[in-house]
Structure 1
Amino acid sequence: MSSRSSRPVIAVVLGVAVLAGVGWCAEAEKGTDFPSATGGDDSSQAVTSVSTPPEGSPDFDPAPAPAPEPAPGEPGDPAVPEAPAPGGDPLVPPARAALGQLEVKGRAPKTGYDRDLFGQAWSDDVGVEFGRNGCDTRNDILRRDLQEHTFRPGTRDCVVLTGVLNGPYTGERIEFQRGQDTSSLVQIDHVVALSDSWQKGAQQLTVEQRRDLANDPLNLLAVSGRANQQKGDGDTATWLPPRREFWCSYVSRQVLVKERYGLWVTQAERDAMDRVLSGC
């Protein structure tokens, strides 16, 4: 074939090739998927395009901002409460420290004990808290420990007429009403009984120190009269309140009172105190 006759054929072939190329590009612009070089679907490389409505339109819902990481030392979830600190009564730690400092000795004879050796009952003439405030000690403690109390008019809120006691020794609710037949339902207990203190060092105290001991609010609690009578002059080794939840507070007060007034403990008493406080 001559070169002149082959030229039209070459032109036709080139035209077909150009048209085929244009068609391939058009299909690619339409988003036609093509197999990967390996011949299979490569879903890990596929990209999905998501259109977001313009800001301000009803369908606009911006993605939430990532939550900030908690700062070092802060809890990650503030809704989770922290464990409560042990020993809720603030008297427990100093009592633990003081227990080891108490002298351990045998009980002295009760010979010569008399309540009058500790001064007039509920005297206001003392050098401890509430002393010389114009109210007697019994009413000071009733006012401190009772709730919903009322007072006799004209006594400057000194004489408590009624009130409610949540008995620390028993947990019972006691309605207090001042009167000859009702006052004894609530009694003021000497946490360290005066007789016990007499047998463990109070004989060596001055009259003023014994009077303070008998009226010291640290050594006094408003309690159920029945529980107070059951206790008598027992120490930690022989009596503890029926309500176990109050043991830590009760024993802590005994330890701190004995430390304050230089009283000693027996070995059995110290061991009992240690057992209670070790569980607080």
Structure 2
Amino acid sequence: MSRTVAARRRPPRAIAAACLVAVALLLPAGCAVAAGAGPDRAVTPSATSVRPAPASPLPAGPTPASPAPAPERSGTPHATAAPLPGSALATLAQLDVKGRAPLTDYDRARFGYEDGDLDGDGCDTRNEILRRDLVDVVLRPDGCLVDSGVLADPYSGRTIAFERGVQTSPLVQIDHVVALADAWQKGAQHWDAATSERFGNDPLNLLAVDGPLNQRKGAGDAATWLPPHKAFRCAYVARQVAVKHAYGLWVTAAERDAMARVLGGCPDEPLPGPSGPAPRSPASPGPAVPSTPTPGSPAPTPPADAPYYASCAEARAAGVTPLHRGTPGYRPGMDGDGDGIACE
């Protein structure tokens, strides 16, 4: 009887062994059910999955390609060829990186921009930059004041018609590319008066631009503001680098990174050089504006002993209006639009 029972038990074990071989050979696993049906023990998937599969004698089929390893993320741009000497990107690496100093004792007037005339030609800085950056310029008879012109605004990419006037002059403003307050917080607080005035009137740091955009920029650096016109960003950042390098100003880490991102897209962007005022020859004199009294009217004779006027009303009462920049009695406080003519 025991031999009969043993004989009956052999087939299930044989079946189980056959199934294990089938699994090892990657054959259909339907035998697992038959193996598990034997009275001795069930063969479960977990029991077979832990067994290492022997090398298959069958021809190996095509194996899927292994995915390429993901590139390491170091947090810094991939190394590129060294920037060209003299490029803005190469010069950026030469700037000191420090934190922003406080704005304590900052005074915009210290930079002397309002009355600036560094070349001594009698024309203020604003009008010299307008004459440089505008086209179709029309001057007033004094040869200094820009009466009208057309600006291809670098910040917006738009074309702006400029016309001198209380309401229209602010539409085109002169921007300090490196803002005066930003310079103050990054080294300028230690300058003497002459260096401050030179910086405030340096044509390299000045651009005629869209007035509202200039107001929106404020004292922002490259980390907080860039021109909306993306095609100009490389030239804009390159000019900031040139100014900071020329005057020994530093940058913050965030500012340096923002500059590097922009210049990384134009690594050969040259460093702009000194940019003086444009010659006056292309400008056309505008219609004659009487600068002397008409016959029969009293000549404007400012008081010799008191050239200071508390208001335009006093200047008009003295018969000396309008007051031009550089003439006795002129004060920027009476020149609301900053065009060089007070009490118009």
Corresponding residue for 1:213? 199
Does residue 275 of the first structure (1) align with residue 261 of the second (2)?
yes
Corresponding residue for 1:123? 116
Distance 2:169 2:180 in 1: 21
Match of 2:223 among 224, 227, 237: 237
**By percentage of residues, which structure has more helix?**
1
Distance 2:109 2:157 in 1: 32
Does residue 203 of the first structure (1) align with residue 203 of the second (2)?
no
Root-mean-square deviation (Å): 1.3
Task: State TM-score, norm by structure 1.
Answer: 0.63
Report percent identity of matched pairs: 61
Does residue 150 of the first structure (1) align with residue 143 of the second (2)?
no
- Aligned residue type for 1:246: F
Q: How do 1:22-171 residues align onto structure 2 when only pairs under 5 Å count?
A: 93-124=86-117, 126=118, 131-153=119-141, 155-156=142-143, 158-171=144-157
In the TM superposition, residue 120 of structure 1 has moved relative to its aligned partner by 4.9
Number of residue pairs matched by the alignment: 182
Distance 2:212 2:257 in 1: 27
Q: Deviations over 1:157-204 (max 9, x none)?
A: x11000001110001111100011110000000000000000000011
Distance 1:120 1:101 in 2: 28
Structure with the bigger RCO (C-alpha within 8 Å, sep 6+) is 1
Distance 2:99 2:235 in 1: 25
Give yes or no for contact 2:113–2:200 (8 Å, CA) kept in 1: no
Distance 1:214 1:238 in 2: 21
Distance 1:188 1:116 in 2: 16
In the TM superposition, residue 132 of structure 1 has moved relative to its aligned partner by 1.9
Does residue 228 of the first structure (1) align with residue 214 of the second (2)?
yes
Where 1:161 maps in the other structure, the secondary structure is strand
Distance 1:118 1:221 in 2: 16
Give yes or no for contact 1:108–1:200 (8 Å, CA) kept in 2: yes
Distance 1:132 1:267 in 2: 39
Give yes or no for contact 1:122–1:215 (8 Å, CA) kept in 2: no
Where 2:209 maps in the other structure, the secondary structure is strand
Distance 1:246 1:231 in 2: 15
Distance 1:101 1:242 in 2: 27
Distance 2:221 2:115 in 1: 22
In the TM superposition, residue 122 of structure 1 has moved relative to its aligned partner by 4.3
